[in-house]
Chains A and B, each alone.
Chain A
Amino acid sequence: MLVLEAHGLTKIYDSRGKVKTRALDNFSFQVHEGEFIGIMGPSGSGKTTLLNLLATIDRPTSGTIRLDGVDTSQLKGDQLALFRRRRLGFVFQDYNLIDSLTIGENIILPLVLDRLPLKEIKARQADVAAILGLSDLLQKYPYEVSGGQQQRTAAARAIIHKPAIVLADEPTGNLDSRAARQLMETFTQLNAAAETTITMVTHDPFAASFCRRILFIRDGRFYSEIQRGESRQAFFQQILDVLSLIGGGNNDSMGHRF
Chain B
Amino acid sequence: MTLWGIAFKNFWQNRRRYMAYVASAAFSVMIYFLYTALVLHPQLQEGYRGAIEAVQGMKAASVVIAVFTLLFLLYSNSAFFRSRMKEFGMLSLLGVSKRQLIRIILWESLCIGSLAMVIGLALGLLFVKLFFMGVSVLMGLSEQIPFYAGRPVWIQTIAVFGAFFIVVSLASLRTVLSKNIIELVRAAGQPKETPHFSRWKAILGLLLLVVGYGWACAPNPMLVVLGAIPVTFIVSIGTYLLMREGSMAGLDFLHRREWFFYRQAPFLTVSQLIHKIQENYRVLTAVAILVAVILTAIGTIASLFVVYVRDAVKTTPHAIQLVLSEPGELDLAANRITQVLAENNVTDFHYTQMTFFRAEIDGNSRGVTVIPYSLYQSIRAGRNVPVTLSDKNEAVLITMYAFLTEGDTVQREEVLKVGTRQVPLQVHPAINAQPVNADRYLSYFLCVPDALFEELIIQASKESLLYIAIWDVVDWNSKEMWMAVTQLRELYPEYEFTATAENYRSSLLELGMLFFIGFFVSLVFLAACCSLLYFRLFTEIDDNRRYYLQLEKVGVSDRELKKLTWHQSLILFFTPFIAGLIHSTFAMQALGTLLNRTVLQFGWAVALGYLVLYGAFYLVMYAIYWRSLRVTRLAEI
Interface-lining segment among A34-42, A86-94, A170-178, A240-248: A86-94
Q: Is the CB of A115 within 8 A of B264?
A: yes
Rounded to whole angstroms, the CA-CA distance of A55 and B550 in the bound complex is 13
Given known pairs A81-B558, A105-B267, the reply for A100 and B274 (CB within 8 Å) is yes
Main secondary structure of the interface of B (DSSP, over half): helix
Alpha-carbon distance between A35 and B194 when the two chains are bound, in angstroms = 40
Chain B CB within 8 A of A78 CB: yes
User: B635–A141 contact, CB under 8 A?
Assistant: no
Give complex CA distance A81, B551 in Å: 10
Q: Which chain B positions have C-beta within 8 A of A98?
A: 271, 547, 550-551
Which residues of chain A in 89-130 are interfacial with respect to chain B, using CB atoms and an 8 Å cutoff? 90, 92, 96-101, 105, 108-110, 112-113, 115, 118, 121
Could you tell me if A105 and B271 are in contact, using CB atoms closer than 8 angstroms? yes
B463 at the interface (CB under 8 A from A): no
1/0 per residue, CB under 8 A from A, across B550-567: the answer is 111111111110000000
> Which of A82, A97, A105, A108 is B555 in contact with, Cβ under 8 Å?
A82
A70 within 8 A of B: no
* A112 near B551: Cβ-Cβ < 8 Å: no
Would you call B47 an interface residue if the criterion is a C-beta within 8 Å of the partner chain's C-beta atoms? no
Who on chain A is nearest to B271 by CB? A100
Is B553's CB under 8 angstroms from A78's CB?
no
Is A138 located at the chain interface by the 8 A CB criterion?
no
How far, in angstroms, from A58 to B635 measured CA to CA in the complex?
6
B5 interface hit (Cβ, 8 Å): no
B550 touches A78 (CB 8 A): no
Query: Mask for B373-416, Cβ within 8 A of A = 1, else 0?
Result: 00000000000000000000000000000000000000000000
A59-B637, A100-B272 known; A81+B262 contact, CB < 8 A: no
A142 at the interface (CB under 8 A from B): yes
CB-defined contacts of A137 to chain B, threshold 8 Å: none
Q: Is the CB of A86 within 8 A of B635?
A: no
C-alpha spacing A57/B636, complex, angstroms: 9
A179 contacts the other chain (CB 8 A): no
Q: Given B191, B259, B276, B556, which contacts A81 in the complex, CB threshold below 8 Å?
A: B556
B271 A112 Cβ-Cβ under 8 A: no
Nearest CB of chain A from residue B438's CB, rounded to whole Å? 65
Please, how many angstroms separate the alpha-carbon atoms of A110 and B556 in the complex? 9
Contact with A along B28-56 (1 / 0, CB 8 A): 00000000000000000000000000000
Selected contact of B552 from candidates A81, A83, A100, A157, CB within 8 Å? A81
Q: How far is the CA of A101 from the CA of B191 in the complex (A)?
A: 13
Measured as residues with beta carbon below 8 angstroms from the partner, the interface class of chain A is: 35 or more
B268 CB to closest chain A CB, in angstroms?
A: 8
CA–CA, A39 to B634, complex, Å?
23
> Which chain A residues in 35-62 approach chain B with CB under 8 Å?
55-59
Smallest beta-carbon distance B237→chain A, Å? 29
The smallest C-beta distance from B547 to any residue of chain A, in angstroms, reads 7
Contact B555 A118 (CB under 8 A): no
Q: List B contacts of A108 (CB < 8 A).
A: 262
Question: Within 8 Å CB of A56, what residues of B?
Answer: 637
Known contacts: A100-B274, A115-B263, A121-B262. The answer to whether A57 contacts B555 by CB under 8 A is: no
Which secondary structure dominates chain A's binding surface? helix
B258 CB within 8 Å of chain A: yes
B264 in contact with A113 (CB, 8 Å): yes
State the Cβ distance, A163 to closest chain B Cβ, in Å.
Answer: 10
In the bound assembly, the distance between CA atoms of A88 and B555 in angstroms comes to 9
Contact B271 A101 (CB under 8 A): yes
Q: How far is the CB of B251 from chain A (nearest CB, A)?
A: 11
Are B554 and A110 in contact (CB-based, < 8 A)? yes
Task: Decide yes or no whether A29 CB sits under 8 A from chain B.
Answer: no
Contacts of A59 in B (CB 8 A): 635, 637
Per the bound structure, the CA–CA distance linking A109 and B261 in Å amounts to: 12
* Chain B CB within 8 A of A223 CB: no
**Is the beta-carbon distance between B274 and A113 smaller than 8 angstroms?**
no
**B258 — which chain A residues lie within 8 A by C-beta?**
118
A109, B556: Cα distance in complex, Å: 10
Q: Separation in Å of the B198 CB from the closest CB of chain A?
A: 19
Chain A residues whose C-beta falls within 8 Å of the C-beta of B634 in the assembled complex: 57-58
A131-173, CB < 8 A from B: 141-143, 157
**Contact among B259, B263, B555 for A110, CB-based, below 8 A:** B555
| Chain B interface residues toward A at CB < 8 A | 191-194, 258-259, 262-264, 267, 271-272, 274-276, 547, 550-560, 634-635, 637
- Per CB-CB distance, the 5 closest pairs between chain A and chain B, nearest first, are A85-B555, A81-B557, A100-B275, A84-B555, A143-B191
Can you name 14 A-B pairs with beta carbons within 8 Å? A57-B553, A58-B634, A77-B637, A78-B559, A98-B550, A98-B551, A99-B547, A105-B267, A108-B262, A113-B264, A113-B554, A118-B259, A141-B194, A143-B191
